[in-house]
C-alpha cells in the first residue's frame, strides 16, 4: 500500500479533502522536495500544486498517483477550482498558522476547515527499508566527520572551528546539508546541553560534539564527548555512568516497550549514582526527515515503541558551571530488540 493510500485510510469521516502544507510531509507523501506549494487530497484524487519555479521538477518526480497542477493566482481560488463548494477540508493544525487559516476561511466562506491533527507524522514514525538506508548513509557520513575532526582537535582551535570543520566535511563527503545546528562546547560550557559554539579556543576538560548529516532528506544525530587533557577521577566516573546508562537503555529497547520505561531505565542508573537532577532532558526522540519526530523517550510519554521506529538514546550528566557529558546513538527498533545504527567508538577518548 502506498503512503498516499495509507494516509487516505486515516481520513476522518468528518472531512472531504485534506490540505497539506508542511514541506516535509509533502515530500514524504508525494516524493517531491519543494518549498512553495501544497497537496490537496480527496478520497478519489490527489493534487500537487507547484508554482512556475518548481512545476518542472514536480512533473518529473511526483508519485504517479498525483495530478500535478500549476499554481497561479490565489491559493484559495485554486482549491475552489478543484473541490466543490460546501466541502469540509481537514488541515494540518500542527503546521498551519492562525493567520493562514484565517485567510483561507475568509476567502472560502462556503467551505469548512477542520483540524485534522498530524496524520502524516504518525505515518512517518514507521520507517521502511529505503528510509532506514538513507538514515544509515547519513550516519556513516557523520561518523566519518567525527574521525576526521579528531585529527585536528587541539587547544589552539576554537569551538566554532570544530563545528565548521564537522559541517564542511559532511557537506564535502555527500551530505545534502546538516540535520541541525552543530554543537561543539568545551570545558565549563560542556555543562550546557544545547550550548552554542563560541569563538574561543578549546578549554581543557570535556568537549561535547552533537552533530549530524542529512542524506536524501533524512537526518543523522550523534553525540560524542571527548576529553582534552587527562581527566580526573570524577570526570571518569561521570563518563562511565553516562555510558552505563546508555548501554542499559539500548539493551532494554524493543517494540512494545513503554517510551517512559526506556527513559526510566537510563535515568535510574544516573540518579542512583549520585547525579539525580543532573539529567534534565529526555532520553531520546524519533529521527527521520525531521530531526525531532513524534516519538519521545521521555518520562511523560504515554506511547509505546513500534517496530520501524528510529530513535536516539542520549543520556547525559551536566554539572552546572563545571562540565557535562552526553553520549548519543541512533537505534532502529525491531520486534525482538533493536539495531544500533551508530558505529562510532564510545570509549573515553583523551586528546
pLDDT at 12 exceeding the cut of 90: no
The mean pLDDT value for 287-307 works out to: 96
Given a contact cutoff of 8 angstroms between Cβ atoms, the answer to whether 309 and 284 are in contact is no
Which residues lie below 8 Å from residue 22, measured CB to CB, with a gap of 6+? 92, 95, 120
Does the predicted model carry a pTM greater than 0.75?
Answer: yes
Per-domain residue ranges of the chain: 3-123, 129-340
**Structure confidence at residue 24 (pLDDT):** 94
| Homologous superfamily, domain 3-123 | Creatinase/prolidase N-terminal domain (3.40.350.10)
Neighbour order of strands in the sheet with 310-313: 293-297, 284-286, 310-313, 329-334, 337-340
- Mean pLDDT, to the nearest integer, of 169-193? 97
pLDDT at 348: 96
Report residue 88's pLDDT band, with 50, 70 and 90 as the boundaries: very high
CATH topology of domain 129-340: Creatine Amidinohydrolase (3.90.230)
Question: Which strands form 205-211's sheet, in the order they lie side by side?
Answer: 183-186, 205-211, 222-228
**Is the model's pLDDT at 15 over the cut of 90?**
no
- The answer, yes or no, to whether residue 176 has pLDDT greater than 90, is yes
Residue 117: predicted pLDDT: 80
For the chain, what is the HEC assignment?
CCHHHHHHHCCCCCCCEEEECCHHHHHHHHCCCCCCEEEEEECCCEEEEECCCCHHHHHHHCCCCCEEEECCCCHHHHHHHHCCCCCEEEECCCCCCHHHHHHHHHHCCCCEEEECCCHHHHHHCCCCHHHHHHHHHHHHHHHHHHHHHHCCCCCCCEHHHHHHHHHHHHHHCCCCEECCCCEEEEHHHHHCCCCCCCCCECCCEEEEEEECEEECCEECCEEEEEEECCCCHHHHHHHHHHHHHHHHHHHHCCCCCEHHHHHHHHHHHHHHHHHCCCCCCCCEEECCCCCCEEEEECCCCCCECCCCCEEEECCEEEECCCEEEECEEEEEEECCEEEECCCCCCCCCEC
Mean pLDDT, the chain, rounded, equals 95
Convert the pLDDT of each residue in 105-146 to its tens digit: 999 999 999 999 888 999 999 999 999 999 999 999 999 999
CA 128 to chain centre: 16
Amino acid at each position: 500500500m502506498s503512503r498516499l493510500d495509507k494516509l487516505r485510510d486515516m481520513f476522518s469521516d468528518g472531512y472531504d479533502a485534506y490540505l497539506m502544507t508542511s514541506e516535509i510531509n509533502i515530500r514524504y507523501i508525494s516524493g517531491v522536495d519543494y518549498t512553495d506549494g501544497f497537496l490537496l487530497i480527496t478520497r478519489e484524487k490527489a493534487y500537487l500544486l507547484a508554482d512556475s519555479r518548481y512545476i518542472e521538477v514536480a512533473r518529473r518526480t511526483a508519485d504517479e498517483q498525483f495530478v500535478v497542477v500549476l499554481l497561479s493566482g490565489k491559493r484559495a481560488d485554486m482549491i475552489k477550482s478543484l473541490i466543490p463548494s460546501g466541502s469540509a477540508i481537514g488541515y494540518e493544525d500542527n503546521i498551519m498558522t492562525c493567520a493562514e487559516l484565517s485567510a483561507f476561511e475568509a476567502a472560502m466562506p462556503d467551505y469548512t476547515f477542520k483540524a485534522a491533527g498530524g496524520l502524516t507524522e504518525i505515518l512517518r514514525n514507521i520507517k521502511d527499508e529505503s528510509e532506514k538506508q538513507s538514515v544509515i548513509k547519513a550516519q556513516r557520513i557523520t561518523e566519518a566527520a567525527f574521525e576526521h575532526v579528531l585529527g585536528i582537535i587541539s587547544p589552539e582551535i576554537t569551538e566554532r572551528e570544530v563545528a565548521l570543520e564537522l559541517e564542511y566535511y559532511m557537506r564535502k563527503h555527500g551530505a545534502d546539508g546538516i540535520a541541525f545546528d552543530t554543537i561543539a562546547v568545551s570545558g565549563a560550557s560542556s555543562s550546557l546541553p544545547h550550548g552554542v559554539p563560541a569563538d574561543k579556543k578549546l578549554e581543557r576538560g570535556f568537549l561535547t560534539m552533537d552533530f549530524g548529516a542529512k542524506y536524501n532528506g533524512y537526518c543523522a544525530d550523534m553525540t560524542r564527548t571527548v576529553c582534552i587533557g587527562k581527566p580526573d577521577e570524577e570526570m571518569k566516573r561521570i563518563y562511565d555512568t553516562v555510558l552505563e546508562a546508555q548501554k542499559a537503555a539500548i539493551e532494554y529497547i524493543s517494540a512494545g516497550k513503554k517510551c517512559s520505561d526506556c527513559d526510566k531505565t537510563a535515568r535510574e542508573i544516573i540518579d542512583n549514582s549520585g547525579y539525580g537532577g543532573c539529567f534534565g532532558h529526555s532520553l531520546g526522540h524519533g529521527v527521520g526527515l525531521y530531526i525531532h519526530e513524534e516519538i519521545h523517550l521521555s518520562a511523560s510519554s504515554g506511547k509505546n515503541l513500534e517496530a520501524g521506529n528510529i530513535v536516539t538514546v542520549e543520556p547525559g550528566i551536566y554539572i552546572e558551571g563545571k562540565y557535562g557529558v552526553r553520549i548519543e546513538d541512533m537505534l532502529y527498533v525491531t520486534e525482538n530488540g533493536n539495531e544500533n545504527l551508530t558505529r562510532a567508538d564510545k570509549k573515553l577518548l583523551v586528546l
